Structures are given as structure tokens and as C-alpha cells.
Amino acid sequence: MNKIRYWLAAIAVMGCVGAAAAQEQNPQSPQSKSAGLITRTVDVKYADLYKIVSTLNPIAKANGTIITADSRARVLLLTGSPERIGEMESLVRRLDIAPASEKNLELTVYLLTANDSNRASQNIPQQLDPALKQLRSIFNYKSYQVLDTIFMRNRILEHGSTSGFLAQLEGESKSASSLLPGRYNLSYGHSYLTQDDRGDLIHLDNVSLQVGQVSGISTNIDLRPGQMVVVGKSNFETGNGALIAVITARVVD
């Protein structure tokens, strides 16, 4: 009987030793995984939380770190070994930087009327000479007159709009005078600034211009800073006249 008890005790001891050895050889066991892990919160002031998570997730998976976002508290939760947590926190700090000041876009839109009268063109500023030369090469109108000048300033990438009222033009044709005075609305969907081998290129998406009862002008525009561009023409419903829009733009800080 004593021998049987001895052998049973020996087998139990050997089993415990074997289990301990197996646990040492298997670092992926739950107990070894949780040993030495910590969780640290990192405040994020400027950057998008989920963009940081998306950027750092491949690195986190490679070094055994878990990174999650708490949008309400604007913090990231980092779970892992102290050494890895320090590395990940450093990367988060590098990504959480104040955004560079966004540039602004200044637009100047000249509204011109065109007709077949023999009256000399009036109120044409010198900077419009290139546009006027282009218009005369395309259309057969004899006279041009500046109806109004619209100025807009807005941040690039944002929607822009403005509206106002136009005054009566002296000496304007009867057909034009009955149509033009009234409210104007100018808007665009978004503006984009890109670069190519010639420099900056401004894109205006879904530019829309409505003046009084004149049919609206709607188009997309690409132009260089300082370039004068004829963006659209809308005929009067009666008479031989038209409304023409000329636009120029510049990028400012």
C-alpha cells in the first residue's frame, strides 16, 4: 500500500512539473500575455483620432500593442508593454500636430453687359483689356459695359456664396434695363488648389451665377492665380444683348 501511494505522489509531481514546463515553452498562454501589460491614455488635441488609429494600427499589431480611440474624451488608449507603449506614445505625439494655416481664395467677378449699340464701351477698367480683347475675337457685340464687380474671400476647400443687388445702368438698352436690375446670387461648391509644372492651379466646382431675370451661368472653372477668364455668357430674353461674367482669383494666407 505504501508503495502504491509513493508512485501516485511521484506521478502527480511529474505532472505538475510537466505543466509548468509546457507553460514556459508557450509564451502565448493567457497568463503570460497579460503579465507586464499596462494601459496608458494619450490626449489628442489636433489630429483626427481615427486617422491616427488607422495609421498606427499596422505598427501596433507588429509590436503587440492595442490602440483604441475614445472620441468623447479625445484620447487614445494604448495597451502593451511599457517599452512598446512609450514608442507608440511618441508616434502619436508626432502625428498630433497643429494643422498648417489654411490658405484663402480671393475671387473678383466682373459682370459685363454686351450689346450691338454703337455706343463706345464704358466703365471698362484697364485690367479687363485682355478679357475684352478675347470677347471681341469671339462675339460680334459692339459695346461692353461693366455692370458690377463682385468680390469674394473664403478658405480653400470650403463652399462659397455671396448675393446682393445691382443698380440701374444709365443709358442701358430697354431690354437690358428691364431684366438686369435686381438680386444676384453667386456661389460655388468647393475650391481646390493643386500644383503642376506651371505652378498653382485653382479649381472651382459648380460655379453658379444668377442675375435678376437673366438665365443663370453654371460651370466648373480651372484658372491660374491672376489669370483673367471669361466664364460664361447668358443672352437676354429680349433684344440683342447678353450678360458676361469674367473672373480672376488669387491665393492669400
Could you give the domains of the chain? 35-99 (3.30.1370.120), 104-252 (no CATH)
Instruction: Confirm if 246 and 231 have CB atoms less than 8 A apart.
Output: yes
Distance between CA atoms of residues 35 and 39, nearest Å: 12
| pLDDT one-digit tens code per residue, 136-189 | 888 888 888 888 899 999 988 888 999 988 765 544 444 444 445 578 899 998
Q: Whole-model pTM above 0.85? A: no
Query: From residue 91, how far is each of 40, 54, 85 by CA, in Å?
Result: 14, 13, 10
In the structure, what pLDDT confidence band is assigned to residue 88 with cuts at 50, 70 and 90?
very high
Phi, psi of 36 (to 5 degrees): 80, 5
Instruction: Confirm if 50 and 67 have CB atoms less than 8 A apart.
Output: no
| pLDDT one-digit tens code per residue, 31-56 | 444 558 899 999 999 888 999 999 99
In the structure, what pLDDT confidence band is assigned to residue 196 with cuts at 50, 70 and 90?
confident
DSSP state of 76: E
Give the pLDDT confidence score for residue 140 in this predicted structure: 84
Instruction: Confirm if 147 and 113 have CB atoms less than 8 A apart.
Output: yes
Distance between CA atoms of residues 40 and 37, nearest Å: 10
Helices assigned H by DSSP within the chain: 2-25, 30-34, 49-62, 82-95, 129-138, 174-177
